A and B are shown apart, each in its own frame.
Chain A
Amino acid sequence: MTVPLLTPVDIGHARYMALTDPGTAFWALVDKTQVADILAGGPLLDAYREKAGDFARELHALRFGLKPSAVYVNPTERCNLDCTYCYLPGKMRRDGGHMPQDKLLAALDKLRRYFATVMPEGRRPRIIFHGSEPLMNRKAVFAAIETFDDDFIFGLQTNGTLLDRAAIDFLTAREVSIGLSLDGPEAAITDSTRHTWSGRSVHARVLTAMDALRGYDAWSVITTCTTENLAHLPRMIELFHAREVPTCMLNTVRCTLPGARGVKPADPDMARAFIAALDRSHELYRETGRKLVVANFANILIAILAPTARRLMCDISPCGGGRAFFALAADGGLYPCSEFIGLSRFRGGNLFESGAEAALDSEGFRLVTGRDVDAFAPCRDCAIRHFCGSPCPAEAHEMNGGMDRTGAFCGFYKEQVRYAFRLIADGIADDYLWDGWDEGTETVFKHALG
Chain B
Amino acid sequence: MQKTKPKQRQQTVPIAPAAPAPTIAVRKSCNPDGVGLSHYVLMDRKKVK
Contacts and interface: CB of A to CB of B under 8 A. Distances in A.
Q: A and B from one assembly? A: yes
Interface of A: 15-16, 26-31, 34, 38, 44, 48, 51, 55, 58, 61-62, 66, 69-70, 72, 123-124, 126, 128, 130, 153, 155, 157, 165, 168-169, 172-173, 175, 177, 179, 212-213, 215-220, 222, 244, 246-247, 249, 251-252, 254, 285-286, 288-291, 293, 295-296, 299, 305-314, 319-321, 324-325, 337-339, 391-392, 424-428, 430-431, 434-436, 438-450
A333 B46 CA distance: 31
B1 A212 contact: yes
Contact of A440 (B6, B39, B49): B49
A422 to B, nearest CB: 12
B47 to A, nearest CB: 6
Contact of A444 (B4, B14, B28): B28
B1 A168 contact: yes
B17 to A, nearest CB: 3
A305 B21 contact: no
Given A311-B41, A392-B38, A435 B8 contact: yes
B30 A441 contact: yes
Contacts, number: 237
B38 A217 contact: no
Contacts of A446: 25-27
Contact of A177 (B2, B8, B42): B42
Contact of A306 (B30, B33, B40): B30
B28 A153 contact: no
B9 A442 contact: no
Contacts of A72: 37, 39-40
Interface string B1-17: 11111111111111101
A177 B48 CA distance: 13
A431 B14 contact: yes
A311 B12 CA distance: 22
B3 A215 contact: yes
A287 B46 CA distance: 28
Given A325-B35, A441-B30, A442-B29, A448 B43 contact: no
A27 B26 CA distance: 8
Contacts of B28: 305-306, 309, 438, 441-444
A448 B23 CA distance: 5
B22 A435 contact: no
Contacts of B33: 69, 123
B38 A312 contact: yes
Contact of A153 (B5, B23, B38, B48): B48
15 contacts: A28-B23, A28-B24, A29-B25, A155-B42, A175-B2, A217-B9, A222-B39, A290-B9, A295-B36, A295-B41, A313-B34, A392-B38, A425-B24, A442-B28, A447-B26
B8 A313 contact: no
Nearest to B17: A427
Contacts of A441: 28-30
B3 A447 contact: no
